Structure 1
Amino acid sequence: MQTPTVSVILTTYNIEDYIYRCISSLQKQSFQDFELIVVDDGSTDSTLARLERHCRYGKNNYTIIALPENTPGGVGIPANIGVSAARGKYIAYADGDDWYEPTMLEDLVAEAESIEADIVIANFRNYDQLNKTIEIPTDDKRLSELAAMPRDKMSEIEFKSQVLRLNAVPWRKLYRTDYLTQNSIAFPEGNFFFEDNPYHWASVIKAKRIGFVDKVICHHRFNRPGQTMASTGRELLWFYDHFSTIEKWLNTERLQDDYGLQLVGWVVGQTEWISGKIRPEYWFDLFDRLQGIIAHYTREDAVRALMMRGTGRYGWSLVSSVLADDKMAFAHAIRFRDEDVSRRLKQVLDELDILRRRVADITRRLDVNEKMTSAAALMEMVEKRSSAR
């Protein structure tokens, strides 16, 4: 059997309403030299039956690995199982509730081949399943800037520090398989979610060449029932377990001096995001997790990390309250975050209104002065003509 160029690892779990669109978008790829490896993580609905029916009519090689029961945590274990069965030169990941542009694989492979990249990262769009709206991801502009930026403008550490700030999700990327194997890069396995973050850090830092595709190749469905990213409870605190995983890896690879402060900035950025989602009864738990991490660093290093990241006022408020060991100030910052934004917006609008009225008043005065000047000139002309007569 001929070795495919790409192995697409598709993980699924109880997504019967969405799997058809995902499979169809993969079967319609303009680049057809790929194998599809589906790992179903013990679905209890009709996902597996629909997979078998849809894949049967596909044009590509496909393998369905049906796990007997749902594995602990998120996609880490199923994804690793899929990779172990892969034969392709490159690995691509897909979520069963997302869908993909027809040229996704073609664009990713073309970029990888042109620069011999270890990783290629592309752009995407979020689709809000609840509100039926399309949202631009927060790192859209950053990816575009990285894609257009000459590589000699930054050092390797500066460049990779910027790449690390991109969304960690794997389904927007293409990975060279032997590169992953040689560096022992795999998803951490355990009873937790968000395991794509350590994978992102290891794969980006170890890469010799990183390519970009500044096109939307994927449509990520979020805000749907049963989805991890729709969580609002304690499970969001699992992000902080991954801090320990990444920190240990940096120490093992002797990279702590190069990327340690970036990791602190990453934690603060995650805290800003989590604090907007997690329920109020877990705010103090969130405080404790952040404080436990900040305690690893001196106050000076924490400040340097925030300055390097360009952290905004809200992030500074959270960290300041942690450094002061003030849980109430931490909770207050979260509670009134939206109100602060609204108040600042109202202040700006009020200032604009004052400026508008001032401009209108100045314009009116100028108009009056102009009229007065014109009238005086007319009277002077009449008087001169009268004198001449």
Structure 2
Amino acid sequence: MRFSFIVTAYNIEEYIGSCLDSLTPCLRPGDQLIVVDDGSGDCSCEEIMARLAPLEGRGIELCPIFLGANTQGGVGIPANVALAEVRGEALFFVDGDDLLEAGGFMAARQVYEAHPSDLLIANFRVYDAALDRYMPPADQPLWARVPGARDPEARRHLALQMIGVPWRKIYRVAFLRAAGLCFPEGDFFYEDNPFHWQACLAAGEIRFLDRSVCAHRVARAGQTMAAQGAELTAFFDHYETILSLLPDAQYRPDALRWLLENMAWHIERLDPGAHWVYAMRAQEVLAAVPEADWQALRRDPVALRSWGVARALAAGDLAAVISGWQGQAVMRRLADLEGRLAHLSGEMDRQQQTLGGVQDWAEGQRALQEFRALKALAGERQVDETG
């Protein structure tokens, strides 16, 4: 069976070479490799061509595409450009800063070739670049439910609860084309979420394989997943898009669960400067959620992570919610400063007699002053909230 691979890249010269090297053992003669660069301003294009050169003459169709200028939004336009070039029977997406795990991918390929389906959803690992550590994804517990999801609808509901990234799935190309599936295009990011819902809702057969097919890199500079500002309101746009795709009301709680799960992630990282913009957009969307959808998730542990905040926003209690967010931001800052102070204290003890020690001492004094100011602010906020 001929596989097509789509790799998307934008300003990732440090990572794209390793990504393509990890993909090489997964290629067979007859496969197609499409690499789309979305107008990088660094040397990503040169890295791409250097890594493709050794693949010449191996019977692999190479299709590098250089868009020349960065397109609007995120991966939507470059992914759709690549989809138009697909010639294989099966399709696999690759994030240009990730690493394929050849053993897991080839196992997934073997399973898929033996039992083709519209979608095969595999597992993956998360690589935290800041901690230099591999971790399971947040949806890891869902794999325990796979054996019990025996009928197509149960498998569809389970698939909709999994993290909706395209680079963990093998797609049947004829299915994608028959359903007319493509990524949404616009001035927003996280386009893979509506695409995931489109694919899962349209698929006739969904299979699962609990093998890691790639290591997904997080916590690198410039990564979309590192967003903390108003761009996170795109999730409310995508929620509305997802609602418009639903064939009937039975999937509405699934859609709300997806939104609440992502909101829990947003709330932990949202920049204070984006609090009001995010809260107002959330209130606009959540106020329209039927009570039946809320009640369907009343005991769902994932939804409950942001349930209280979401209900307060839906009711219009924006000021109270934002006050709570601001207090949490202060406490996170305090925790960060405590860690810095502990580190600097140790350094000052070791280097007190050197110039470096003097610099560390000065930095420690600045951190201490900031810590005291924030602690005082946190105390005032606590008095205001309890008084």
TM range (shorter): 0.7 to 0.9
Q: Which residue of structure 2 aligns with residue 179 of structure 1?
A: 175
Q: Which amino acid aligns with 2:86?
A: A
Contact 2:146 2:155 in 1 (8 A): no
Q: 1:25 to 1:127 in 2, by over 3 A?
A: same
Of residues 217-226 and 315-324 in structure 1, the stretch that sits farther from structure 2 once superposed is 315-324
Work out the CA distance in 2 between the residues paired with 1:268 and 1:290: 11
SS of residue paired to 1:260: helix
Question: How far is 1:147 from its partner?
Answer: 3.6
Question: How far is 1:293 from its partner?
Answer: 1.6
Q: Which amino acid aligns with 2:36?
A: V
Residue 6 of structure 2 corresponds to residue 9 of structure 1 = yes
- Count of aligned positions: 328
- Give 1:230-241 correspondences, 5 Å limit: 230-241=226-237
Q: 1:158 to 1:28 in 2, by over 3 A?
A: closer
Work out the CA distance in 2 between the residues paired with 1:311 and 1:118: 28
- Give 1:202-213 correspondences, 5 Å limit: 202-213=198-209
Q: 1:32 to 1:141 in 2, by over 3 A?
A: farther
Work out the CA distance in 2 between the residues paired with 1:33 and 1:335: 56
SS of residue paired to 2:208: strand
Q: Which residue of structure 2 aligns with residue 99 of structure 1?
A: 99
Contact 2:116 2:172 in 1 (8 A): no
- RMSD over aligned CA atoms reads 2.2
Work out the CA distance in 2 between the residues paired with 1:243 and 1:313: 18
Work out the CA distance in 1 between the residues paired with 2:19 and 2:64: 15
Question: How far is 1:260 from its partner?
Answer: 1.7
Residue 157 of structure 2 corresponds to residue 161 of structure 1 = yes
1:193 pairs with one of 186, 189, 192 = 189
Q: 1:308 to 1:9 in 2, by over 3 A?
A: farther
Residue 122 of structure 2 corresponds to residue 114 of structure 1 = no
SS of residue paired to 1:63: strand
Question: How far is 1:215 from its partner?
Answer: 1.1
Q: Which residue of structure 2 aligns with residue 384 of structure 1?
A: none
SS of residue paired to 1:246: helix
Q: Scaled by the length of structure 2, what TM-score is found?
A: 0.79
Percent identity (aligned): 34
Render the CA deviation track for 1:54-91: whole Å, top value 9, x for unaligned.
Answer: 10102332110111211111111111111111100011
SS of residue paired to 1:88: coil
Of residues 19-28 and 310-319 in structure 1, the stretch that sits farther from structure 2 once superposed is 310-319
Q: 1:24 to 1:294 in 2, by over 3 A?
A: same
Q: Which has the larger radius of gyration?
A: 1
Question: How far is 1:26 from its partner?
Answer: 0.9
Q: 1:32 to 1:210 in 2, by over 3 A?
A: farther
Q: Which amino acid aligns with 1:71?
A: T
Contact 1:314 1:337 in 2 (8 A): no
Q: 1:206 to 1:277 in 2, by over 3 A?
A: same
Question: How far is 1:333 from its partner?
Answer: 4.6
Where does the alignment leave 5 or more consecutive residues of structure 2 unmatched? 333-387
Q: Scaled by the length of structure 1, what TM-score is found?
A: 0.79
- Give 1:1-389 correspondences, 5 Å limit: 5-29=2-26, 31=28, 33-58=30-55, 59=58, 60-142=60-142, 144-152=143-151, 156-250=152-246, 255-298=247-290, 300-307=291-298, 309-311=300-302, 313-335=304-326
